[in-house]
A and B are shown apart, each in its own frame.
Chain A
Amino acid sequence: MSERRKIEFDYSGVDTDRMRVNVGPQHPSTHGVLRLEVELEGEIVTEVVPHIGYLHRCFEKHAEAMTYPQVIPYIDRMDYISSMNNEWPYVIAIEEMCGIKVPEKVEYIRVICAELNRIANHQIAVATFGLDAGAFTPFLYLFRDREWILNLFERISGGRLLYNYFCVGGVRGDVYPTFKEDCLDIVRQVRATNKEIMDLLIYNHIFVERTANIGILPVDVAINYGCSGPVLRGSGFPYDLRRSEPYSIYDRFDFDVQVGKGEVGTVGDCWDRNIVRMREMEESCKIIEQAVAQMPDTGDVFEAIPKKIRVPKGEIYRAAENPKGELGFYIVSDGGQKPFRVRPRATSFINLSVLPEISKGYMLADLILILGSIDIVLGEVDR
């Protein structure tokens, strides 16, 4: 890489106007229906006010009205890019309340599905972040690979995007005979493409110039705002629920928690958050390889599924590491067939709250990049 040159402009002689600009809710770069009210001084952002609620789909109302298994499709539609991961904390919480022990094979199927979906989510995140920076080609490459993951999910669950695959006590269908080979094929392909993307996008000089030293999120601010996932790890704090509070069978796998190191700029800038996602894809590949090697071939995936779910009275909070961060469900049961209340800890909502803090003092064009690097899904923000 050539030497980076710092360009300083003297804005003191430039006559600028203060103005308020409305970005969204229908805007190609807001990743959904987010509305940002931006105050500008010339082209420098001085204040950002996010307005949300354009995709409020009444999740808690639905959770009150539905029985425990019927809530799962609505959980799919919260963070619709990573449905498999979303379902997991919910079913873990109910299994724990009912005291159900899940068969060994199911745990491995769940790990493989969740990690494949993590790869698919990060592929979309990197692809759309590239689009925000003006790079269209990586989008095409990453979506080509994502189709293979979706095809595998379609074979096991029947859905391309929203799966409703995990259920309390097991999964809705057994895997097909060549499942393991297909997983390893996908891992091979993802590795090959990621190597290409590293040259094409991540270490591209234009991309580095656009994203390094932009939207710096100091680690103390990230912790104060409650950020998690790649946003927090991009700031250099190694917090990953799979490692710090291993749920399911994650303590059996060997993988690293990737953190941002400020290789091309400052720790916690947009580039760091993005490289954490790229490296996490590789970690997911490692976990999938180990899980495929350890997964038992025989076993009944339906044996622990209860005929009727009766959850004893009580309350529980269980969280899992979603691709976007810590997603948790707080479930209150009154002993009936329907949950009394299901309250999600929505990662995207909490990560979005840091946007006004870190986007001050940058250009309007950089605001779009900072928003893209946080990687929000409005279905989860508004619920």
Chain B
Amino acid sequence: MGLLDRLDNPYNFGGIILGTLEDLLNWGRSKSDWYLHFGLACCAIEFMAANASHFDFMRFGTIPRASPRQADFMIVSGTVTLKMAERIVRLYEQMADPKYVLSMGSCANCGGPYWEHGYHVLKGVDRIIPVDVYIPGCPPRPEAFLEGMILLQSKINKQEIFKKRKRLEEEMKNMNQ
């Protein structure tokens, strides 16, 4: 974490922190993620275990939100059925940008054990919404889930905000030419 290293030793710089605005925004976004928990099946129980006293998920700065409008990322934990799929898309669309999706467990990744004969199971939530982090396991251990959260934070830390817009504008110009 570039910004925090500089915070650790403020006197060398006279209490001044040098960094880019992008770093600051990414740091804020990655360290105070509010989540919408889409608990569907067995993985939701392991997620509850991760949220409880042994694993303490909230030390990542996360707070559960019941409303998608207040959430930064969504945890899809469990088997996505065809009946549930449209609800997931609707709740995903209600979330404000920037938004991320954490797919927890084999069922949400690819259909899991219901891949072959599950006529009512969606074979992976990434068929309907973009997924940022996949956590394998049936169900994943809480430690695996925490690892996934660390991966999501490092992804948020590396994302481009200003350069991306510039780059996209140039690409659009080239496409128009």
Q: Say if the beta carbon of B38 comes within 8 Å of chain A.
A: yes
Q: Say if the beta carbon of A77 comes within 8 Å of chain B.
A: yes
B55 to chain A: closest residue by CB:
A147
A77: contacting residue among B48, B49, B83, B113, CB under 8 A: B113
Question: Within the assembled complex, what's the spacing in Å between the Cα atoms of A309 and B83?
Answer: 36
Which residues from 58 to 97 on chain B have a C-beta closer than 8 Å to any C-beta of chain A?
64, 66, 78-79, 81, 83-84, 87, 91
| B138 & A147 in contact (Cβ 8 Å cutoff) | no
CB distance from A81 to the nearest CB of B (A): 6
| A144 & B53 in contact (Cβ 8 Å cutoff) | yes
B113: contacting residue among A56, A61, A74, CB under 8 A: A74
A140: contacting residue among B38, B53, B64, B78, CB under 8 A: B53
Q: Say if the beta carbon of B46 comes within 8 Å of chain A.
A: yes
Question: Across the interface, which residues of B come within 8 angstroms of A27, CB to CB?
Answer: 66
B117: contacting residue among A54, A65, A73, A144, CB under 8 A: A65
| A161 & B118 in contact (Cβ 8 Å cutoff) | no
Q: Say if the beta carbon of A124 comes within 8 Å of chain B.
A: yes
A 48-89 binary contact with B (CB < 8 Å = 1; else 0): 000001111110011001000000011001001100000000
Q: Say if the beta carbon of B124 comes within 8 Å of chain A.
A: no
| A55 & B79 in contact (Cβ 8 Å cutoff) | yes
| B52 & A161 in contact (Cβ 8 Å cutoff) | no
CB distance from A84 to the nearest CB of B (A): 14
Question: Across the interface, which residues of B come within 8 angstroms of A32, CB to CB?
Answer: 39-41, 44
Q: Say if the beta carbon of A26 comes within 8 Å of chain B.
A: yes
Question: Across the interface, which residues of A come within 8 angstroms of B121, CB to CB?
Answer: 57-58
Question: Across the interface, which residues of B come within 8 angstroms of A25, CB to CB?
Answer: 84, 87
Interface size class of A (residues with CB under 8 A): 20 to 34
| B119 & A61 in contact (Cβ 8 Å cutoff) | yes
Q: Say if the beta carbon of B173 comes within 8 Å of chain A.
A: no
Q: Say if the beta carbon of A233 comes within 8 Å of chain B.
A: no
| A33 & B84 in contact (Cβ 8 Å cutoff) | yes
| A143 & B52 in contact (Cβ 8 Å cutoff) | yes
A154 to chain B: closest residue by CB:
B141
| B52 & A139 in contact (Cβ 8 Å cutoff) | yes
Question: Across the interface, which residues of B come within 8 angstroms of A160, CB to CB?
Answer: 46, 139, 141
Q: Say if the beta carbon of A318 comes within 8 Å of chain B.
A: no
| A147 & B49 in contact (Cβ 8 Å cutoff) | yes
Question: Across the interface, which residues of B come within 8 angstroms of A141, CB to CB?
Answer: 53
CB distance from A258 to the nearest CB of B (A): 25
Question: Across the interface, which residues of A come within 8 angstroms of B38, CB to CB?
Answer: 26
Q: Say if the beta carbon of A379 comes within 8 Å of chain B.
A: yes
Q: A55-B78, A57-B120, A144-B53 are in contact. List 17 more A-B contacts (CB 8 A).
A: A25-B87, A26-B87, A54-B87, A55-B79, A55-B81, A55-B84, A57-B79, A57-B118, A65-B116, A80-B45, A81-B45, A124-B48, A141-B53, A144-B54, A147-B54, A160-B139, A162-B42
Chain A contact residues, CB within 8 Å of chain B: 25-28, 32-33, 53-58, 61-62, 65, 73-74, 77, 80-81, 124, 139-141, 143-144, 146-147, 150, 160-162, 378-379
Q: Could you name 25 residue pairs across A and B whose Cβ atoms are closer than 8 Å?
A: A26-B91, A28-B64, A32-B39, A32-B41, A33-B39, A33-B40, A54-B83, A54-B87, A55-B79, A55-B81, A55-B84, A57-B41, A58-B121, A61-B117, A62-B117, A77-B41, A77-B42, A80-B42, A139-B52, A140-B52, A143-B48, A143-B53, A160-B139, A162-B138, A378-B41
Chain B contact residues, CB within 8 Å of chain A: 37-42, 44-46, 48-49, 52-54, 64, 66, 78-79, 81, 83-84, 87, 91, 113-114, 116-121, 138-139, 141
